Structure 1
Amino acid sequence: MTVIDANRMHEIETRYPEYFHRSFRQRFGGLMILIATLLYSLYAVWFFDLPKLFAEAHWERVGIYLSQWVSYDVQPEFRIEDDGSIDIRYPRFSPLGDNPHPDWLVNNPDGSITVSVSGTSRSVTVSKNETIVTAHGVSVPVEVSSGAPKVVGPVPGWMTVYDDNVLADLGFAGNVSISVDRVKIRKRFIGWANFIFDTQSSFFDKPVGEVVSLIVSGPRIKPDQSNLSLAFDDIWNNSEWQHGDVWTKLFQTIVMAFLGTLLGSLTAFPLAFLAARNITPNRLLNQVLKRFFDFLRSVDMLIWALFLTRAFGPGPLAGSGAIFLTETGTLGKLYSEGLENIDNKPREGIKSTGAQTVLVHRYGIMPQIVPVFVSQTLYQWESNVRGATIIGAVGAGGIGLKLWEAMRTNANWENVAYMVILILIVVFIFDTASNALRHRLMGTKAH
């Protein structure tokens, strides 16, 4: 065991003061950061009033929206006429078409109608004087012959009684609304109704084998058009899903992102040479261009889109212009900073031979910056594919506007899911392609 005397200890402290005489920041910096983070978190909770926000949030709507993303419903309405007959009506744009005869609706010999909402465990039987709702293992009769519907017996928890209406919640399967003269049923199905052919198509409600047979070798449905062409037209012009319009708008979004990024990069490239201090030794010009880049990118793409839609009207031109302005500022800054960080030795070597300025830039600068510039541009293009969707919602065209229109109706959530999935696929493809190109240009392996 080695014993260090006082002189030796003093010598070590003198030689390494940073270890023995640490500053307040070094000793308590980590603790102060932790305390500051905790205080800021408490301030955020107070500022946003998070307890009240979470308490009053409509969490049940999350499940409703998600269920509507992956399902559709049919809403038959049973009107009880004065003579005791029951008239069945469907909404104008019912997924079942104009003259439906579903197998889950049965006409009984006594004149009543039984609707299977979810197999035999959840069903509704409608007759002249009463409606029987079967769910959760019990059958609850509701009399409809008097002035207001009346539940016979105890009211279960899944049934709500109002003055002129009784509402039975059957969970995901649907619900039933009962009044004196009518019963309205909402029956939910998993899937997307009429995704391929809508109710107006000649191929609607036909089995897959029959559709394939008609397309391949069947007689022409329309004498002047082949069945293959007719099937494509029916899919492309599907009135419910609007595949043609959705895909056209999606292509517009991709073109907006490409055109805006391309024009932005072409404009930013020469300006970056003028903004770089080591390339253009004019401090005034350097600062003016850099502040110009700051101005263009400090105004968000969404704001530029709002300005341009007012100037040129809604459409992809405004979207491309918004991306162009934003990318000129962003890429101009990235390009100029990249130029300021190059190795000047190759440049000085070529300049010493008496070469012209263009040749100095071509052989002394370009080999160093091209891979970096292309990588940055590809990343911005990939990012702008997502950004073009957002600015489309304010009228700049593309699928973003289509998505916003579907969300505003608060009824076409399956269409919203369809467009969101398409956007995710496009972003994934562009992200993968962009990463592969960047790694190839930079000479690194993609992981």
Structure 2
Amino acid sequence: MTVIDANRMNEIEARYPEYFHRSFRQRFGGLMIAIATLLYGLYAVWFFDLPKLFAEARWERVGIYLSQWVSYDVQPEFRIQDDGSIEVRYPRFSPLGDNPHPDWLVNNPDGSVTVSIIGTSRTVTVSKSETIVAAHGVSVPVDVSSGAPKVVGPVPSWMTVYDDNVLANLGFGGDVSISVDRVKIRKRFIGWANFLFDPQSSFFDKPAGEVVSLIVSGPRLKPDQSNLSLAFDDIWNNSEWQHGDVWTKLFQTIVMAFLGTLLGSLAAFPLAFLAARNITPNRLLNQILKRFFDFLRSVDMLIWALFLTRAFGPGPLAGSGAIFLTETGTLGKLYSEGLENIDNKPREGVKSTGAEAVLVHRYGIMPQIVPVIVSQTLYQWESNVRGATIIGAVGAGGIGLKLWEAMRTNANWENVAYMVILILIVVFLFDAASNALRHRLMGTKAH
């Protein structure tokens, strides 16, 4: 065991004062940050009243909306006629087309109609005097022969009785609304209905094998057009999914992001040289340009889009302009900071040869700043693909406006899911391409 005397201890303390004479901030800084973070979290919980917010939230709607992203419903309506017959009607734009004969709807010999909601475990049987709902292991008759529908027997928890109708919630499979003269059923299916061909298409409701056979070697469905061209037209002009319009708007979004970023980088590049203190030794000009960059950045891209849509009207021009203004400020700041952090030795070396200012910038500055410019510009381009989607929702064109229109109806969530997936794929591809191009130009390996 080594014993350290007082003189040796004093010598060590004098050599390493940062370990033996630490300030209050150094000793308790981490603890104070943790306490401040905890206090801020408690304040946020109180300020936003999070317990009440979570208690009153309609969490069941989350499941409903998510299910609608990956499913669709069919809504047959059964009208009880005066002679006791039952007429089946479908909405005008039913996914089943104009003359549906689904296998889950059975006409019984006694004149009643049975609808299978989920296999044989959940069914609805409609007759002229009563409607029987079978679900959760029980069958509940609802008498419709009198002035108002009446549940016969105890009312289960999944059934709600109102003055003029009875509503039965059958879970994900759908629901049933029963009144005296009609029964409305909502039956839900997994998948996206008519994604390729809508009911107006010549290929609608045909098996995949038959469609392929018609396209490859089948007789022409229209004498003046090949089946391949007809199939493409039917898919592109699908009235339910509007593939042509969606893809056109998606391309608009990509063009908006590219054009806005390109123009912003072209405007920011020369201004950055004037804003950099070590390149342009004019303090007033440096400060004016830097504050100009701050102004352009401080106004959000969404706000610029609102201004420009008022000036030029809705469309991709306003979106490109909003990205251009924002990127001029952002890239101008990034470029100027990159210029201010370069090594002045190469610049001074080129300058000492008597070269002109243009050559000094070309050979003394550009080799150092190009990797920064390329990296930041490509990153902003990829980021603006996402930003262009958001500003499209305020009328700046692109797929964002299409997405907002689908969400506003509160009924086309499968179309919303389709466009969200397309946006995710585009962002992923642009991210991968941006990274690959950035590493290739900078001479590094992508990980």
Q: Distance in 2 between matches of 1:372 and 1:11?
A: 47
Give the CA deviation at 1:343. Answer: 1.1
Give the CA deviation at 1:438. Answer: 1.2
Q: Distance in 2 between matches of 1:200 and 1:306?
A: 39
Give the CA deviation at 1:345. Answer: 1.1
Write the deviation string for residues 183-213 of structure 1: whole angstroms up to 9, x where unpaired: 0111110000000000111111111122122
Q: Distance in 1 between matches of 2:227 and 2:14?
A: 94
Write the deviation string for residues 293-324 of structure 1: whole angstroms up to 9, x where unpaired: 11111110000000000000000000000000
1:148 maps to what in 2? 148
Q: Distance in 1 between matches of 2:180 and 2:292?
A: 70
Q: Distance in 2 between matches of 1:17 and 1:363?
A: 47
Runs of 4+ in 1 over 4 A off after TM superposition: none
Q: Distance in 2 between matches of 1:6 and 1:331?
A: 59
Aligned residues: 447
Larger mean Cα displacement after TM superposition, 236-245 or 348-357: 348-357
- TM-score, normalised to structure 1, is 0.98
Write the deviation string for residues 325-369 of structure 1: whole angstroms up to 9, x where unpaired: 000000000001111111111111111111111111111111111
Larger mean Cα displacement after TM superposition, 68-77 or 353-362: 353-362
Give the CA deviation at 1:229. Answer: 1.2
Give the CA deviation at 1:21. Answer: 2.6
Identity within the alignment, %: 93
Give the CA deviation at 1:15. Answer: 3.9
Larger mean Cα displacement after TM superposition, 355-364 or 418-427: 355-364
Give the CA deviation at 1:99. Answer: 0.8
Counterpart secondary structure, 2:114: strand
Write the deviation string for residues 107-140 of structure 1: whole angstroms up to 9, x where unpaired: 1110000111111111111000000111111111
- TM-score, normalised to structure 2, is 0.98
- Structure 1 segments unaligned to the other structure (5+ residues): none
Give the CA deviation at 1:409. Answer: 0.2
Q: Distance in 2 between matches of 1:2 and 1:68?
A: 74
Write the deviation string for residues 388-424 of structure 1: whole angstroms up to 9, x where unpaired: 0000000000000000000000000000000000000
Give the CA deviation at 1:375. Answer: 1.0
Give the CA deviation at 1:4. Answer: 3.0
Q: Distance in 1 between matches of 2:422 and 2:240?
A: 17
Give the CA deviation at 1:28. Answer: 1.4
Give the CA deviation at 1:7. Answer: 3.8
Counterpart secondary structure, 2:199: coil
- Structure 2 segments unaligned to the other structure (5+ residues): none
Larger mean Cα displacement after TM superposition, 430-439 or 382-391: 430-439
Give the CA deviation at 1:26. Answer: 1.6
Assess, with a 3 A threshold, how the Cα gap between structure 1 residues 85 and 271 changes in structure 2: closer, same or farther: same
Counterpart secondary structure, 2:433: helix
Write the deviation string for residues 249-298 of structure 1: whole angstroms up to 9, x where unpaired: 00000000000000000010111111111111111111111111111111
Q: Distance in 2 between matches of 1:442 and 1:134?
A: 67
Q: Distance in 2 between matches of 1:7 and 1:270?
A: 63
Q: Distance in 2 between matches of 1:42 and 1:397?
A: 41
Q: Distance in 2 between matches of 1:373 and 1:76?
A: 60
Q: Distance in 2 between matches of 1:277 and 1:11?
A: 46
Give the CA deviation at 1:13. Answer: 3.3
1:229 maps to what in 2? 229
1:337 maps to what in 2? 337
Write the deviation string for residues 68-105 of structure 1: whole angstroms up to 9, x where unpaired: 00000000000111111111110010000111111111
Quote the RMSD (CA, aligned, Å).
Answer: 1.0
